[in-house]
Amino acid sequence: MKILGISAHYHDSAAALVVDGVPVCAVQEERLSRRKNDAGFPVGAIEWCLDSAGLEPSGLDAVVFYERSMLKFDRILTTALRAFPRSWRSFPHAIKNTLGEKVWVRGIIASHLGIPRQKIVFTDHHASHAAAAFLTAPTRRAAILTADGVGEWATLTIGRGERRADGSTAMALDREVRFPHSLGLLYSAFTAYLGFKVNEDEYKVMGLAAYGRPTLKEQVRQVIRVLPDGAFALVPAFFEFQTTADCSYSSRFVDLFGPPRHAYDPIDLESEDGRRFADCAASVQSVLEDVLVGIAARLRRETGLPDLCFGGGVALNGLANARILAEAGFDRVFVPPAPGDAGCALGAALYADRLYFRQPDRDVPDHPFWGPVVDGAQLARAAREDGQDVEELSDAASIERAADALAAGRIVGWMEGACEFGPRALGHRSLLAAPHDPAVRERLNRDIKRREEFRPFAPVVPAEAADRYFDLPAGGARLARYMSGVFPVRPEWRPRLAAVTHVDGSARVQVLERGMAPRLHALLEAFGRRTGVPVLLNTSFNVAGEPIVTAALEGYTTFRRCGIDVLVAGSSVVTRRAAAPAPPKESGAWSSNSVAASTIA
Ligand SMILES: [Fe+2]
């Protein structure tokens, strides 16, 4: 069967194609439209998926949308009516959004693709998250946990999945926590309170948490109550997201935590307010972890299963994931590379294949590389036309050239094969640098990423060497496969890994097996031969405010615009020319005029 999965209309739209039970391709719309977190109907992603599989829409057996839009409409309507008249401002906004796109999804899909409406099916939002986590993990039986902001009504679900010997698949989400009680919305309220962008900057709260102490945990526990059965409830008086689209926290929230931070105020960790904000971040982070560990530990006891599959946007929280692994009693915790809503496109397609159409069980390849493939020859052509030095080397020579540059303290743009599905660069669209020098980190921040200083960069290490540099618990390497866990850097290595060690001594490390990205693995070894430490700083290949680069030309224009020293796509290598020496002081206006004249000629 050929099944197209779609997620859209909230944030970060995506499409994924599953053929005969196995993913063929998947991509977020933003990677093609070049609009960050593009939430529009993913026309480009769908077209690319069909093109790359050589399919026409009429060749599809089914198109699956990742949530039930009528149920979501029901939630928005019910919530607005319950809060009326306080919700009168947000109500028209919500209805316009919902009526405009979300409810009429079947018609939108049918008209875009020109397929009969009967071919369009829907999954529950959290079933899509659960399938994205369970059906892509190398396990046959597992407990399942999903947590996000909100889907239709559910915000957190628990259950279990089984891939049976007879080829059938079972997946049951037995219990759920419903809107407005939501760990994702709790975290988002603090994200907004701390002056960051909701649905985009949640990881900044996690980065800031390392600078604070959880001194405000008692206050956070006043806004979220843990119930006797392990579930939780937000106390409505502290929140506004159910009544207005303008602000997610209430004046009582401000009474409890103090004045909020404005987005444009710098965070000065030396000031009293700066420390309060860091303490707020540390406190909500700590409470989030406590609640998740409690739920996961209960799930472990109830199911008796040693594996946990964890999906939903909250599963991007690497600190919480590491604590679940350490404290909830599971041997292994699987978080997919795209646990958020974009990943639901793939989850929905797999769910429909296994559970709706009852197709036989299949192993899903255990990697994140489902997007467009980079063309090294395209890079070489573009660079040559632009008058840059370009070398088309052998595979091995291009790796050695990149390792030389990295060992010399240069920043390397690294493009390889198919791009990653999900928010993280896992070695195919990465900016790489030496891990020891804080000056490199500062240059990356200043010239390219323009990030806040408190945000750490992550390391990548070959699986064989990971334990030497990082304090990984049993199961830690698996969690670190897709950068889903934060673990301590071994104290003796922190000085030599200073650019990738967070202020609290931790790192969101990627543990790389050779088979997943052989060229990056070889590069790490080549760098290790030069420096003695086979670890690199690895951050996503994009500049501030833009999506991660996809095609060679995007990599090249990014390279030309900012301070990347060397660009590698496949085995094509472009090296930035050293700046021309400044002209001698005595050269006057006449000589610069002659330069201008010769340029015109
Ligand atoms: Fe979600």
SS3 204: helix
How far, in Å, from the CA of 169 to the mean position of ligand 1? Answer: 22
pLDDT tens, position by position, 399-449: 999 999 999 999 999 999 999 999 999 999 999 999 998 888 888 988 888
- What is the pLDDT of the chain when averaged over all its residues? 90
Express each pLDDT in 143-169 by its tens digit. Answer: 999 999 988 889 999 999 999 999 999
Cα–Cα dist 141/161, whole Å = 6
CA of 302 to the centre of ligand 1 (A): 25
- What's the one-letter identity of residue 137? A
State the distance from the centre of ligand 1 to the C-alpha of 314, rounded, in angstroms: 9
The residue-averaged pLDDT of 216-245 equals 89
Structural tokens at position 85: 């008249």
Ligand 1 centroid–CA 154 distance in Å is 9
For residue 239, give the DSSP letter: B
Ligand 1 centroid distance, CA of 108 (Å): 21
Range name among 26-30, 94-98, 366-370 with the lowest pLDDT average? 94-98
- Over residues 450-470, mean pLDDT: 90
DSSP state of 17: E
Output the CA 599–ligand 1 centroid distance in Å.
Answer: 55
Cα 173 to ligand 1 centre (Å): 15
* Ligand 1 center from residue 270 Cα (angstroms): 37
Distance 113 CA to ligand 1 centre (A): 25
Nearest 5 degrees, angle CA 423-CA 425-CA 431? 135
Distance 146 CA to ligand 1 centre (A): 9
Lowest mean pLDDT among 37-41, 51-55, 135-139: 37-41
The alpha carbon of 18 and the centre of ligand 1 are apart by a number of angstroms equal to 20
Residues contacting residue 242 through CB under 8 Å, at least 6 positions apart: 79, 82, 83, 87, 179, 180, 236
- Ligand 1 centroid vs 389 CA: distance in angstroms? 45
Does the pLDDT value for residue 243 go beyond 80? no
Give distance in angstroms: CA of 471 to centre of ligand 1: 31
Give the residue among 472, 569, 460, 457 at the shortest CA–CA distance from 513. Answer: 460
Number of alpha carbons in the 13 Å side-chain half-sphere of residue 437: 14
Instruction: Compute the distance from residue 312 Cα to the ligand 1 centre, in Å.
Output: 5
- 99 alpha carbon – ligand 1 mean position (Å): 20
How far is ligand 1, taken at its centre, from the CA of residue 453, in Å?
29
Instruction: State in Å: Cα 155 to ligand 1 middle.
Output: 8
341 CA distance to ligand 1 middle (Å): 5
On the question of pLDDT at 71 being above 50, the answer is: yes
Distance, CA of 333 to CA of 143 (rounded, Å): 10
Distance 88 CA to ligand 1 centre (A): 26
Residue 200's pLDDT is 82
Evaluate whether 297 touches 275 at the Cβ level (below 8 Å). no
Q: What's the gap in Å between 381 CA and the centre of ligand 1?
A: 41
Q: 506-556, pLDDT tens digit by residue? A: 999 999 999 999 999 999 999 999 999 999 999 999 998 899 999 999 999
Query: How far apart are the CA of 151 and the centre of ligand 1, in A?
Result: 5
Q: Are 420 and 428 in contact (CB under 8 A)?
A: yes
